[in-house]
């Protein structure tokens, strides 16, 4: 394969042709912030927080969607880049609730990380705030769209599963938001509670309900396990607080797989200290069910009983 | 220290001599202040009006270099007024009569004449010290950096024995170490006459023991030279010097002489974390890791052995000092291989009786104060309970000796040197913190307003200070901290290399130079 | 024999020495009670009232940090009334607290934040008047942001009761109450303030009102690795934690040292910057034609061994002097003593203790 050799922050870097500037830079140990970029689903280029300075280019370029080419000279933290990033962060914060105090994403939030890194304390733009009600109709996923930065990662990861596309952008301008069809709540939508959107959300807009208020991100230790329900091998995170597993969250789907609720519940039953009560949607409403039912074992159990007779 | 730091807060009487504790040892200063809040009496012996002197009930502002006279004067009062601890003197000491005879002439009035401290104050302090339920004496370089430094320490010891103010909690003699591991360096045999744990090299049995432990046939028997002598003899009896983490060009007296001496060596190796003034003279400079980059132990001023833990990798190619020493030893044909600092410590424990019971494993549970002879020994909080190291405590009668260099017509001022709160030793580290040197960026010379007026200088004016050995320039700070005829500064700023001026005259016993007194003249610069 | 009392806390029987507070008794069996103004080493003003508990028969909800446990006492630490009281307390504090966790230095180690999260109190529940105090950062050590101060008074007591410098105290009343040095000056005006920048006040502040200046922007609390070690400066030997991020020392914070507790002095707490100073020696140097030039370790060690060997050969080991260091570890001083006496054959080893 052909290679491209370029200079990033004064360092010569050689990467396979077709590599993005983002991957070339981070591969060489440089930090580049991203919000909308999903390594499992690249090529979107919407948020522009990842801009870098390419010598000779007309403007700063979004590194996640720009290919590294031979002879390029790139700066990842030039004053212009920092200025641009600060402005983006300020604009985002302008209509972001200042809720880190109790936000469940505090400590593991990209917006917060970048605000801290670039020293943006508060927005110099006095922006209008949204006043969306918090959607906790689904027992697993809490949606607080007041905190959404419209990166679209949730939309794209959901759409990766054929026939899913439960959520999409709706409305325009200040009113743009991510919503299920007809702007219903999540419970009424076709959502299957796989929570892959929660796994990719960079901020506190999508959080995992069973862990709400149970501990700050920095108090929890994550250990990744691979699901063994089917051959796809999706990955889940065991969330430890002290030496107890207080919940299991979605991490990443197996190649081309959906990442399913059944898998997560199975991991929960297997690993969690006090497994939560499984909830399934029946006739458009979530109801508590038995573990056998949640894991789809009823048929099997029935057969075993049959055989025992 | 014979006591522990925490005990100071419980003392009823604190006699602090030659230590500006709150600046020099701030966290011990905290204990002193705590004792004061609990109602203790503080007496401070210091020619300067230091921060701690301002807290004291009695500030004995003696003339520089008259400590022995003052301490003998205290003893005189205590004996005359029958306040001494007869039982203690009887049972635990010897040579009392000789001591009594010596101090007989140091009546408060006679001492006032020498020291300038009012006789009445001497009496009150003597009574306070002798009668206190517990009385701790603190001292530092202010006492030892004199030509009679060792005698000063004897005078202190005499006083404690006289009153039996030793060998119990909160009562004792407590030298406060200026540097983090002075205690440890001494304990570990970085001394010309001693193996670790003060086992004399002159004793055949000790040499045999260490030769066996180190796997060699014999070890040199003749005690070596002290640091001052090593430098004095550089180019003469000493041909090569290996310096680890010290900067004698700035810290030793008569800096010009030190530079010259080091330059006349056949070979000089300096191992340090910065290219110090001394390292610049070296033939080979070896980059050492800082304390944050290595494992080890320090022993503090109260004999407490504590862990130093590696937090980061050494910067650049720097290496921990212990690794470098091992590389040199190995390259010279004596393999020195240790997997870790803890392995070195295990060897230390095997040959150092006072450390025998200490291990890294135990230190994980908390620090330990030596003597700690066995693995189940809890360590030792205060020394000399019931018995002194040598058996009976011996009185060493000492007489007042004036400083080696007294002011005269040409050099009319006494220069004294010391430390500042915001800096440490020669400033190699504290001048590069991004914080300390920002707040306290320049050094100055403290001078009394009477003298300042005579010289026609204002605060901040540059002064030229000269002794028989050299000249430095420094800004004036007019203050009543020093008496007329005295000036003071620190040796912690490379810009003010005050040790170009100081007198290398040494105490003949301890070999400590007389930093606290030398004669200088002060002129307006420019 | 110490007299004891037995009481029941949240249904658990607890026996403690007489004189123990309810707070200590609860903590001794692992029951959590929040505190702001209480510190085991300081005097107890019982002022903040976040630590209230319910004791049937007592008037109001008593503050557990100043209530003595008595025989037969029954205590509830998390009854509805207690939780309600704590929530209201937090709401009032948050009402005039800036919304600044986003970038606040204390985020992740702040009691106000911790308790707000624990009790689910959102910042906007009780919008109140905010202070507009200028941030005091005119010294290189400590930043004071009194907008975030919850007036717990721990810094005041730390400075009085441990440090003994009496720099700060409460001034004014009500909404205008503030902790300040005399005459409303700043810490850096040391002639008036008497502050020595020990930073001991910073070590007890439960919120982000007092912070170490050089640590600002250097990393979030949860990113720091703490390594307990011993101060490299004076002979007191204080313990502290080096705060490490990405392989760099970015700060020093208090730990509970055997010698010093949490107290440190300005050098120990703020004097770590030399570790990463650009002047640090990073390679061995060898003098060639009067100039020190970079060399490899192999070259440098070989040269030292050769030259030292030659001096020993020609003049005898006793012509070699070793100056060891009161700043190096015991292990290193021990090896220096061994190297000198065994390998070089000299007893002329000393260090600068006398200086
Ligand atoms: S909910 Fe999260 S992932 Fe979805 S667009 Fe908003 S910020 Fe992005
Ligand atoms: S989403 Fe991030 S920035 Fe927003 S409140 Fe939560 S933690 Fe803070
Ligand atoms: S002091 Fe605490 S609550 Fe206030 S902004 Fe800082 S972290 Fe948040
Ligand atoms: S830094 Fe030290 S002296 Fe200054 S106010 Fe704080 S505790 Fe007091
Ligand atoms: S500055 Fe901190 S420690 Fe001091 S009163 Fe305010 S909150 Fe308490
Ligand atoms: S913190 Fe200060 S008092 Fe404590 S050991 Fe370090 S220099 Fe000495
Ligand atoms: S991360 Fe590149 S544009 Fe969003
Ligand atoms: S912690 Fe008890 S009143 Fe403040």
The domain that holds B450 is classified in CATH as: 2.40.40.20
Torsion of CA C196, C197, C201, C205, to 10 degrees: 160
Which among C162, C249, C284 has CB closest to B284?
C284
User: What span, in angstroms and rounded, lies between the C-alpha atoms of C199 and C265?
Assistant: 7
User: What span, in angstroms and rounded, lies between the C-alpha atoms of C150 and C208?
Assistant: 10
Residue tagged 């670790």 (tokens): B196
User: What span, in angstroms and rounded, lies between the C-alpha atoms of B157 and B394?
Assistant: 9
pLDDT value at residue B425? 63
CB proximity under 8 Å: A 66-95 to C: 93
Q: How far is C239 from chain B (nearest CA, A)?
A: 8
CATH for A3-91, options being 1.10.10.10, 3.10.20.740, 3.40.640.10, 3.40.50.300: 3.10.20.740
Select from B176, B211, B233 the last residue of a domain.
Answer: B176
CB contact under 8 A, C117 and A216: yes
Q: How far is C222 from chain A (nearest CA, A)?
A: 6
The response to whether residue B508 sits with its C-beta less than 6 Å from ligand 6 reads no
Q: Does C83 touch chain A (CB under 8 A)?
A: no
Residue B379 belongs to a domain: no
- Ligand number nearest CA of A155 is 1
Q: Which residues pair with C171 in a beta bridge?
A: C178
Contacting residues of B for C141, CB less than 8 Å apart = 435, 439
CB pairs under 8 A between B and C: 475
Residue B332 belongs to a domain: yes
CB contact under 8 A, B179 and C308: no
pLDDT value at residue B142? 62
pLDDT value at residue C70? 93
Map out the domains of chain C as residue ranges: 4-78, 222-280, 285-354
CA of C46 to the centre of ligand 8 (A): 5
Instruction: Look at chain B and count its residues.
Output: 526
Residues with CB under 6 Å of ligand 1 are A 148-154, 178, 200-203, 205-206
Nearest residue (by CA) to ligand 1, atom 4, is A154
CA of C240 to the centre of ligand 6 (A): 10
CB contact under 8 A, C108 and A218: yes
Q: Are residues B149 and B203 in the same domain?
A: no
Contacting residues of A for C94, CB less than 8 Å apart = 101
Q: Are residues B188 and B169 in the same domain?
A: no
Helix (H) or strand (E) holding C88: helix C80-95
Chains that touch B (3 or more CB pairs under 8 A): C
B18-55, pLDDT tens digit by residue? Answer: 777 888 788 888 888 888 888 888 989 888 888 888 88
pLDDT value at residue B314? 93
Q: Are residues B172 and B218 in the same domain?
A: no
Helix (H) or strand (E) holding B476: strand B471-478
Could you identify the atom of ligand 2 that is nearest to the CA of residue A96? 4
Q: Does A221 touch chain C (CB under 8 A)?
A: no
CB contact under 8 A, C123 and A102: yes
* Mean pLDDT, residues A239-265 taken together: 85
User: What span, in angstroms and rounded, lies between the C-alpha atoms of B312 and B320?
Assistant: 12
Contacting residues of B for C235, CB less than 8 Å apart = 25, 176-183, 300-301
Residue B510 belongs to a domain: yes
Q: Are residues B170 and B187 in the same domain?
A: no
Contacting residues of C for A112, CB less than 8 Å apart = 102-103
A19-73, pLDDT tens digit by residue? Answer: 999 999 999 999 999 999 999 888 888 899 999 999 999 899 999 999 999 999 9
Contacting residues of B for C338, CB less than 8 Å apart = 214, 329, 336
Q: Are residues B340 and B434 in the same domain?
A: no
C140-158, pLDDT tens digit by residue? Answer: 899 999 999 999 999 999 9
Residue B419 belongs to a domain: yes
Helices (H) and strands (E) in chain C, counts: 9, 14
Contact: chain C with chain B (3+ CB pairs below 8 Å):
yes
Fold of C4-78: Ubiquitin-like (UB roll) (3.10.20)
CA of A139 to the centre of ligand 3 (A): 30
Res. A131: pLDDT tops 60: yes
Select from B135, B155, B176 the last residue of a domain.
Answer: B176
The response to whether residue C93 sits with its C-beta less than 6 Å from ligand 5 reads no
pLDDT value at residue A283? 79
Contacting residues of C for B305, CB less than 8 Å apart = 330
Q: How far is A110 from chain C (nearest CA, A)?
A: 11
CB contact under 8 A, C304 and B269: yes
pLDDT value at residue C355? 46
Residues with CB under 6 Å of ligand 7 are A 34-37, 45-50, 62, 64
Residue B374 belongs to a domain: no
Domain count, chain B: 3
The response to whether residue C153 sits with its C-beta less than 6 Å from ligand 5 reads yes
User: What span, in angstroms and rounded, lies between the C-alpha atoms of B292 and C316?
Assistant: 37
Return the DSSP state at A127: P
Q: Which residues pair with C54 in a beta bridge?
A: C76
User: What span, in angstroms and rounded, lies between the C-alpha atoms of B488 and B416?
Assistant: 5
pLDDT tier at A12, thresholds 50, 70, 90: very high
- Please state the pTM of the whole predicted model: 0.86
The encoded tokens of residue C160 equal 């009085």
How many Cβ atoms from other residues are within 10 Å of residue A277's Cβ? 12
pLDDT value at residue A1? 59
- Ligand number nearest CA of A61 is 7
User: What span, in angstroms and rounded, lies between the C-alpha atoms of B145 and B417?
Assistant: 10
The response to whether residue A225 sits with its C-beta less than 6 Å from ligand 2 reads no
Share the mean pLDDT of chain B. 83
Helix (H) or strand (E) holding C27: helix C22-28
Residue tagged 């055997």 (tokens): C258
CATH number given to C222-280: 2.20.25.90
B119-131 and B108-115 helices, crossing angle to 10°: 120
The response to whether residue C154 sits with its C-beta less than 6 Å from ligand 5 reads yes
The response to whether residue C238 sits with its C-beta less than 6 Å from ligand 6 reads yes
Fold of A134-212: Alpha-Beta Plaits (3.30.70)
CB contact under 8 A, C102 and A100: yes
CB proximity under 8 Å: C 121-140 to B: 139-140
Q: Does C288 touch chain B (CB under 8 A)?
A: no
The three-point CA angle A264-A140-A182 to 5° equals 120
Q: Are residues B433 and B303 in the same domain?
A: no
Map out the domains of chain A as residue ranges: 3-91, 134-212
User: What span, in angstroms and rounded, lies between the C-alpha atoms of C153 and A192?
Assistant: 52
Residue tagged 């990380």 (tokens): A113
Closest residue by Cα to residue B494 from B222, B277, B271: B277
pLDDT value at residue C125? 58
User: What span, in angstroms and rounded, lies between the C-alpha atoms of B79 and B102?
Assistant: 12
8 A C-beta contact, residue C307 and residue C278: no
Mean pLDDT by 10 residues, chain B (526 residues): 81 84 84 88 87 86 84 87 84 82 86 85 86 85 68 83 80 79 85 86 85 86 84 85 86 77 89 90 92 92 90 93 92 89 90 87 87 82 64 79 79 80 66 76 83 85 84 85 85 72 71 75 81
Q: How are beta strands A3-8 and A73-75 bridged, if at all?
A: parallel
Helix (H) or strand (E) holding C132: none
Chain A residue with Cα closest to C113: A101
In a 13 Å sphere around the CA of B526, the CA atoms on its Cβ side amount to 6
Q: How are beta strands C320-323 and B199-200 bridged, if at all?
A: unpaired
CA of C91 to the centre of ligand 8 (A): 16
pLDDT under 50: residue ranges of chain C:
354-355
Topology match between the domains C4-78 and C222-280: no
Q: How far is C117 from chain A (nearest CA, A)?
A: 5
Residue B107 belongs to a domain: yes
8 A C-beta contact, residue B503 and residue B149: no
The response to whether residue C167 sits with its C-beta less than 6 Å from ligand 5 reads no
The domain that holds B212 is classified in CATH as: 3.40.50.740
Chain C residue with Cα closest to A117: C217
Residue B503 belongs to a domain: yes
Q: Which residues pair with A287 in a beta bridge?
A: A280
CB proximity under 8 Å: C 201-240 to B: 213-214, 225, 227-239
Topology match between the domains A3-91 and A134-212: no
For residue B453, give its domain range: 413-524
Q: Does C122 touch chain A (CB under 8 A)?
A: yes
Select from B176, B197, B218 the last residue of a domain.
Answer: B176
The response to whether residue A147 sits with its C-beta less than 6 Å from ligand 2 reads yes
User: What span, in angstroms and rounded, lies between the C-alpha atoms of A39 and C332?
Assistant: 50
Q: Are residues B94 and B76 in the same domain?
A: yes
């Amino acid at each position: 394969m052909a290679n491209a050799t370029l200079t990033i922050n004064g360092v010569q870097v050689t990467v396979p042709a077709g590599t993005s500037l983002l991957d070339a830079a981070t591969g060489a140990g440089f930090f580049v912030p991203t919000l909308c970029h999903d390594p499992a689903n690249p090529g979107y280029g919407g948020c522009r927080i990842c801009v870098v300075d390419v010598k000779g280019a007309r403007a700063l370029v979004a590194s996640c969607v720009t290919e590294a080419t031979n002879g390029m000279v790139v700066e990842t933290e030039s004053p212009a880049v920092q200025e641009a990033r600060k402005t983006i962060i300020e604009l985002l914060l302008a209509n972001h609730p200042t809720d880190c105090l109790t936000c469940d994403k505090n400590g593991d939030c990209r917006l917060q990380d970048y605000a801290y890194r670039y020293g943006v304390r508060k927005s110099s733009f006095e922006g209008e705030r949204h006043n969306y009600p918090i959607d906790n109709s689904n027992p697993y996923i809490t949606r607080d769209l007041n905190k959404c930065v419209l990166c679209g990662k949730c939309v794209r990861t959901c759409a990766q599963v054929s026939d899913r596309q439960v959520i999409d952008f709706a409305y325009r301008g200040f009113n743009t938001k991510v919503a299920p069809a007809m702007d219903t709540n999540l419970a009424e939508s076709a959502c299957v509670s796989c929570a892959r959107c929660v796994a990719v959300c960079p901020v506190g807009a999508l959080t995992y309900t069973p862990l709400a208020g149970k501990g700050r991100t920095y108090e929890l230790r994550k250990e990744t396990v691979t699901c063994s329900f089917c051959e796809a091998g999706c990955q889940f995170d065991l969330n430890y607080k002290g030496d107890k597993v207080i919940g299991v969250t979605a991490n990443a789907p197996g190649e081309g797989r959906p990442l399913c609720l059944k898998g997560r519940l199975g991991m929960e039953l297997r690993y969690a200290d006090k497994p939560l009560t499984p909830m399934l949607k029946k006739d458009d409403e979530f109801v508590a069910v038995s573990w056998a039912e949640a894991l789809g074992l009823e048929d099997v159990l029935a057969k075993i009983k049959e055989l025992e007779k | 220290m014979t006591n522990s730091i925490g005990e100071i807060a419980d003392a009823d009487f604190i006699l602090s001599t030659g230590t500006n504790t709150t600046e020099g040892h701030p966290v011990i200063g905290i204990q002193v202040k705590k004792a004061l809040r609990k109602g203790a009496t503080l007496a401070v012996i210091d020619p300067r009006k230091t921060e701690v002197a301002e807290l004291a009930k009695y500030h004995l502002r003696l003339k520089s270099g008259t400590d022995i006279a003052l301490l003998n004067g205290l003893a005189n009062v205590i004996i005359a007024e029958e306040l001494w601890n007869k039982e203690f003197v009887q049972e635990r000491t010897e040579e009392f009569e000789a001591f009594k005879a010596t101090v007989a002439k140091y009546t408060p009035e006679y001492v006032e004449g020498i020291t300038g401290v009012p006789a009445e104050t001497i009496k009150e302090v003597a009574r306070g010290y002798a009668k206190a339920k517990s009385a701790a004496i603190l001292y530092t370089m202010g006492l030892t950096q004199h030509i009679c430094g060792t005698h000063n320490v004897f005078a202190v010891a005499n006083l404690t024995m006289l009153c039996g103010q030793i060998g119990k909690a909160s009562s004792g003699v407590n030298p406060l170490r200026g540097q983090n591991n002075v205690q440890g360096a001494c304990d570990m045999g970085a001394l010309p006459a001693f193996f670790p744990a003060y086992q004399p090299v002159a004793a055949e049995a000790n040499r045999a023991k260490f030769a066996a432990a180190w796997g060699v046939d014999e070890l040199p028997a003749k005690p070596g030279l002290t640091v001052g002598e090593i430098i004095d003899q550089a180019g003469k009896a000493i041909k090569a010097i290996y310096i680890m983490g010290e900067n004698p060009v700035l810290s030793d007296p008569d800096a010009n002489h030190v530079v010259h001496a080091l330059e006349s060596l056949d070979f000089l190796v300096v191992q340090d974390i910065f290219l110090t003034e001394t390292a610049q003279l070296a033939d080979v400079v070896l980059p050492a890791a800082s304390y944050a980059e290595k494992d080890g132990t320090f022993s503090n001023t109260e004999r407490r052995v504590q862990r130093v833990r590696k937090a980061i990798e050494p910067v650049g190619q720097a290496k921990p000092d212990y690794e470098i020493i091992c590389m040199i030893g190995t390259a010279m044909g004596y393999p020195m291989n240790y997997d870790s600092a803890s392995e070195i410590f295990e060897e230390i424990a095997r040959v150092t009786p006072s450390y025998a019971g200490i291990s890294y494993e135990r230190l994980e549970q908390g620090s330990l104060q030596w003597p700690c002879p066995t693995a189940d020994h809890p360590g030792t909080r205060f020394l000399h309970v019931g018995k002194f190291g040598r058996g009976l405590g011996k009185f060493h009668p000492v007489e007042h000796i004036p400083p080696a260099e007294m002011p005269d017509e040409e050099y009319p001022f006494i220069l004294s040197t010391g430390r500042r709160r915001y800096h440490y030793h020669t400033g190699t580290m504290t001048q590069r913190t991004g914080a300390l040197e920002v707040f306290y960026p320049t050094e100055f010379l403290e001078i009394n307003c009477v003298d300042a007026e005579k010289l026609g200088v204002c605060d901040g004016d540059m002064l030229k200070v000269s002794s028989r050995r050299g000249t430095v320039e420094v800004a004036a700070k007019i203050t009543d901290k020093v008496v007329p005829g005295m000036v003071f500064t620190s040796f912690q700023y490379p810009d003010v290399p005050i040790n170009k001026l100081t007198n290398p005259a040494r105490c003949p016993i301890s070999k400590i130079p007389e930093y606290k007194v030398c004669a200088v003249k002060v002129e307006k610069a420019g | 024999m110490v007299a004891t009392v037995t009481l029941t806390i949240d249904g658990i029987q607890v026996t403690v020495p007489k004189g123990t507070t309810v707070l200590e008794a609860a903590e001794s069996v692992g029951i959590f009670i929040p505190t702001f103004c209480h510190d085991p080493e300081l005097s107890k003003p019982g002022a903040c009232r976040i630590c209230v508990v319910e004791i049937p028969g007592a008037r109001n909800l008593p503050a557990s940090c100043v209530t003595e446990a008595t025989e037969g006492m029954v205590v509830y630490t998390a009854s509805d009334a207690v939780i309600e009281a704590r929530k209201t307390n937090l709401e009032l504090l948050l009402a005039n607290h800036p919304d600044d966790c986003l970038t606040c230095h204390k985020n992740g180690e702040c009691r106000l934040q911790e308790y707000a999260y624990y009790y689910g109190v959102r910042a906007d529940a009780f919008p109140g008047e905010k202070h507009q105090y200028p941030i005091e950062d005119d010294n290189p050590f400590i930043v004071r942001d009194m907008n975030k101060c919850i007036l717990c008074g721990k810094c005041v007591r730390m400075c009085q009761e441990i440090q003994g410098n009496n720099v700060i105290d409460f001034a004014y009343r009500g909404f205008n109450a503030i902790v300040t040095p005399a005459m409303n000056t700043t810490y850096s005006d040391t002639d008036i303030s008497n502050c020595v920048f020990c930073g001991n006040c910073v070590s007890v502040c439960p919120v982000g009102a007092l912070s170490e200046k050089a640590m600002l922007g250097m990393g979030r609390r949860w990113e720091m690795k703490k390594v307990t070690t011993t101060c490299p400066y004076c002979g007191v030997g204080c313990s502290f934690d080096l705060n490490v991020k990405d392989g760099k020392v970015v700060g020093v914070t208090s730990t509970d040292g055997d010698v010093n507790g949490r107290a440190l002095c300005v050098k120990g707490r703020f004097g770590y910057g030399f570790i990463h100073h650009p002047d640090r020696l990073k390679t061995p140097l060898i003098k060639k034609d009067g100039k020190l030039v970079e060399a490899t370790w192999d070259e440098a060690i070989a040269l030292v061994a050769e030259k030292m060997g030659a001096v020993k050969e020609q003049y005898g080991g006793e012509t070699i002097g070793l100056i060891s260091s009161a700043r190096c570890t015991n292990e290193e001083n021990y090896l220096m003593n061994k190297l000198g006496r065994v390998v070089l054959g000299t007893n002329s080893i000393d260090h600068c203790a006398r200086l």
